[in-house]
């Protein structure tokens, strides 16, 4: 495996995903918590950072200890740290070093640049520049303005690059990473979805034996793929519970239940709509609504789980980004999530936890699902918040408002699918606003609800841009909604990016 040492860059997870695209397993560890570098570690990558090595409290690692063990690649801050700590010099740069830059010079026959030609485009983003290399290092690539764009030590396999190979603007970034992983570190490229399925099923067979496992399905990608993996390992001993909280999309409960049954899963659908509506009655504060939904879910789930005799394990669809220890180098890390994933079960259930996806990123989860031949309708689903339409109906929730929003949402989502726009959007949904606006229908004035449509493009939901959907499409959806959904007379489209706006309205 490869160890990626995180100094707090927003791009660290992207480096990890790129490494995995080469079928090489990697782990991210914070700079102040590095695991032992044993024989399983084939190489180390040092990430970028929002910090400067010139700051007194800049994040540091014991490089002398690391470089003697395995090949090492420093990216951006990582490269500057190598230069700075091993005898070179880093200063604030005088020329602009953001954005695209062309490598005008590359050392002949350099292993890191194998199959990469002079003139290749890279992407830079740094305010510091390396002005002097350590005496035992040499420049291996330069741009017009950055002489030490890449360097290598003469006596050890240690490389530094000022540019970011993980972003797509670095045209040969993929090749460079492959050169490092395969050519320099000797990684086998054997970590594939098929091999993941095979090993994790074998491990769970061993770990779970004849024990019974309970899992809450949500209709989303993670819990579905987790269920399939466990099902492969223990079959009918996996008891899935799918709760209708009355806040799902139109027809979703029935459709998803059918598709789960089609996959051979042992799944029980529980209609608990009324319980949820009762718990939500009169609540308008978003956090109170979230709490009420979470608490009711646990009560319903707990009741159901107790009906399974001798259940020993609780399975969860936790994924890698949920467990990566986040580094906080400058204030709170951008990756902290507060409201996600309903917070566990009551203590008295005392179940052991099994989390078969905890080493995977979202794209990896989808690939593993595909390797198990799960339907794309499940795998390509947009993310949907646990509290569902409960946080998309602003203000208090009633069954009638849910009905209205389900209809609206149906025209929007079905419209996206019919127009071939669904897969290009990261997440889409509709919000029922707590305002009435005036309209005319025929000769009459109406005074009815306003709905907002929201569609975003994103990589991980942490930042997002509003999706630039075609006007004709928006016009068509708006017409369909106003003509078909009683109670709605105005449709608006949300053109805010995140930050500063969030994806959800509550
Ligand atoms: P925001 O609104 O914070 O949303 O930009 C980012 C992502 O998180 C989802 N989200 C939630 N998911 N419970 C969840 O399980 C919640 O309470 C919740 N709030 C937001 C949101 O749908 C988006 O994918």
CATH 3.40.50.880, domain 2-184, yes or no = yes
Q: Which pLDDT score is estimated for 339? A: 43
The listed CATH number (3.30.470.20, 3.30.300.10, 3.20.20.70, 1.10.1740.10) that belongs to domain 398-493: 3.30.300.10
Q: Which atom of ligand 1 is nearest to the CA of 501?
A: 5
Whether residue 179 contacts residue 115, with contact meaning beta carbons closer than 8 Å, is answered with yes
User: Which stretches within 387-464 are classed as H helix?
Assistant: 399-418
Q: Which atom of ligand 1 is nearest to the CA of 383?
A: 24
Q: Whose CA is nearest to atom 17 of ligand 1?
A: 339
ipTM score? 0.99
Residues ≥6 apart with Cβ < 8 Å to 15:
4, 45, 47, 75, 165, 166
- pLDDT, tens digit, for every residue of 122-171? 999 878 999 999 999 999 999 988 899 999 999 999 999 999 999 999 99
**Distance from the CA of 339 to the center of ligand 1, in angstroms?**
7
| pLDDT higher than 50, residue 463 | yes
Arithmetic mean of pLDDT, 477-506: 96
Q: Is 291 in the pocket of ligand 1 (CB under 6 A)?
A: no
Q: Is 390 in the pocket of ligand 1 (CB under 6 A)?
A: no
Asked whether the domain spanning 398-493 has the same topology as the one spanning 2-184, the reply is no
**Distance from the CA of 340 to the center of ligand 1, in angstroms?**
7
Q: Which pLDDT score is estimated for 344? A: 55
Arithmetic mean of pLDDT, 372-389: 94
Is 142 marked within a binding site?
Answer: no
> What share of the chain in percent tops pLDDT 70?
95
Is 418 marked within a binding site?
Answer: no
Is 390 marked within a binding site?
Answer: no
Average pLDDT, the chain: 93
- pLDDT, tens digit, for every residue of 87-103? 999 998 877 677 889 99
Is 437 marked within a binding site?
Answer: no
User: Which stretches within 281-380 are classed as H helix?
Assistant: 286-306, 320-323, 362-371, 376-379
Arithmetic mean of pLDDT, 255-275: 95
Is 221 marked within a binding site?
Answer: yes
pLDDT higher at 99 or 76: 76
CA-to-CA distance for 271 and 267, rounded, in angstroms?
A: 13
**Distance from the CA of 63 to the center of ligand 1, in angstroms?**
39
pLDDT higher at 328 or 229: 229
Identify which of 223, 503, 506 to mutate to test ligand 1's pocket (most ligand atoms within 8 A of the CB).
503
Q: Is 317 in the pocket of ligand 1 (CB under 6 A)?
A: no
| pLDDT higher than 60, residue 335 | no
Give the catalytic positions in this structure: 76, 164, 166
Domain 193-379: state its class: alpha beta
Q: Which pLDDT score is estimated for 327? A: 75
Arithmetic mean of pLDDT, 464-476: 97
- Return the DSSP state at 185: T
CA-to-CA distance for 491 and 475, rounded, in angstroms?
A: 10
Q: Is 369 in the pocket of ligand 1 (CB under 6 A)?
A: no
Is 78 marked within a binding site?
Answer: no
Confidence of residue 348 (pLDDT cuts 50, 70, 90): low
Q: Is 503 in the pocket of ligand 1 (CB under 6 A)?
A: yes
Listed range (15-19, 280-284, 324-328) with the worst mean pLDDT? 324-328
**Distance from the CA of 499 to the center of ligand 1, in angstroms?**
14
Pairing verdict, β 311-315 and 427-441: unpaired
| pLDDT higher than 90, residue 345 | no
Neighbours of 341 (CB within 10 A): 13
Listed range (245-254, 316-325, 445-454) with the worst mean pLDDT? 316-325
Arithmetic mean of pLDDT, 259-270: 95
- pLDDT, tens digit, for every residue of 177-215? 999 999 999 999 999 999 999 999 999 999 999 999 999
| pLDDT higher than 70, residue 249 | yes
Domain boundaries, the chain: 2-184, 193-379, 398-493
Q: Is 427 in the pocket of ligand 1 (CB under 6 A)?
A: yes
Q: Which pLDDT score is estimated for 127? A: 82
Identify which of 504, 505, 506 to mutate to test ligand 1's pocket (most ligand atoms within 8 A of the CB).
504
Q: Strand pairing partners for 91?
A: 129
Q: Whose CA is nearest to atom 18 of ligand 1?
A: 385
Percent of residues in the chain assigned helix, strand, coil, to nearest 5: 35, 25, 40
Pairing verdict, β 121-125 and 98-106: antiparallel
Q: Which pLDDT score is estimated for 457? A: 96
Q: Whose CA is nearest to atom 3 of ligand 1?
A: 502
């Amino acid at each position: 495996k490869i160890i990626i040492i995180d100094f707090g860059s927003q791009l660290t997870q992207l480096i990890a995903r790129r490494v995995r695209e080469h079928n090489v397993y990697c782990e991210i560890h914070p700079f102040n918590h590095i695991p032992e570098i044993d024989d399983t570690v084939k190489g180390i990558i040092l990430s970028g950072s929002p910090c400067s090595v010139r700051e007194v409290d800049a994040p540091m690692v014991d490089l002398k200890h690391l470089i003697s063990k395995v090949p090492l690649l420093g990216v951006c801050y990582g490269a500057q740290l190598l230069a700075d700590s091993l005898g070179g010099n880093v200063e604030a740069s005088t020329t602009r070093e953001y954005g695209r830059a062309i490598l005008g010079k590359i050392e002949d026959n350099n292993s890191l640049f194998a199959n990469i030609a002079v003139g290749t485009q890279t992407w830079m983003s740094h305010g510091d520049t390396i002005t002097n290399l350590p005496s035992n290092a040499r420049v291996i690539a330069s741009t017009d303005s950055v002489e030490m764009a890449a360097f290598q030590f003469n006596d050890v396999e240690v490389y530094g690059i000022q540019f970011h190979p993980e972003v797509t603007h670095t045209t040969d970034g993929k090749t460079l990473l492959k050169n490092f992983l395969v050519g320099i570190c000797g990684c086998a490229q054997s970590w594939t979805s098929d091999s993941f399925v095979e090993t994790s099923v074998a491990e769970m067979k061993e770990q779970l034996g004849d024990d019974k496992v309970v899992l809450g399905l949500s209709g989303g990608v993670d819990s579905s793929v987790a269920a399939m993996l466990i099902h492969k390992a223990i079959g009918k001993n996996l008891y899935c519970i799918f709760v209708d909280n009355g806040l799902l999309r139109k027809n979703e409960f029935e459709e998803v239940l059918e598709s789960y049954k089609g996959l051979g899963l042992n799944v029980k659908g529980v209609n608990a709509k009324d319980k949820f509506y009762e718990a939500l009655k009169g609540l308008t504060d978003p956090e109170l609504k979230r709490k009420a939904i979470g608490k009711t879910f646990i009560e319903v789930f707990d009741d159901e789980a107790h009906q399974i005799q001798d259940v020993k394990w609780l399975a969860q669809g936790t994924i890698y980004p949920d467990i990566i220890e986040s580094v906080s180098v400058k204030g709170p890390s951008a990756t902290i999530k507060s409201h996600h994933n309903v917070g566990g079960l009551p203590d008295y259930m005392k179940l052991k936890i099994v989390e078969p996806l905890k080493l995977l990123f979202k794209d990896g989860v989808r690939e593993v699902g595909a390797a198990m031949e799960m339907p794309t309708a499940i795998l390509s689903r947009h993310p949907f918040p646990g509290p569902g339409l409960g946080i998309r109906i602003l203000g208090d929730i009633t069954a009638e408002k849910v009905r209205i929003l389900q209809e609206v949402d149906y025209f929007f989502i079905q419209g996206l699918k019919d127009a071939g726009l669904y897969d290009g959007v990261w997440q889409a949904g509709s919000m029922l606003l707590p305002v009435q606006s005036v309209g005319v229908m025929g000769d009459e004035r109406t005074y009815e609800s306003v709905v907002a449509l929201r569609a975003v493009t994103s990589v991980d939901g942490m930042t997002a841009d509003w999706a630039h959907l075609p006007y004709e499409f928006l016009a068509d959806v708006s017409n369909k909604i106003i003509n078909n959904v009683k109670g709605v007379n105005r449709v608006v489209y949300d053109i805010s990016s995140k930050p500063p706006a969030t994806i959800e309205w509550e």
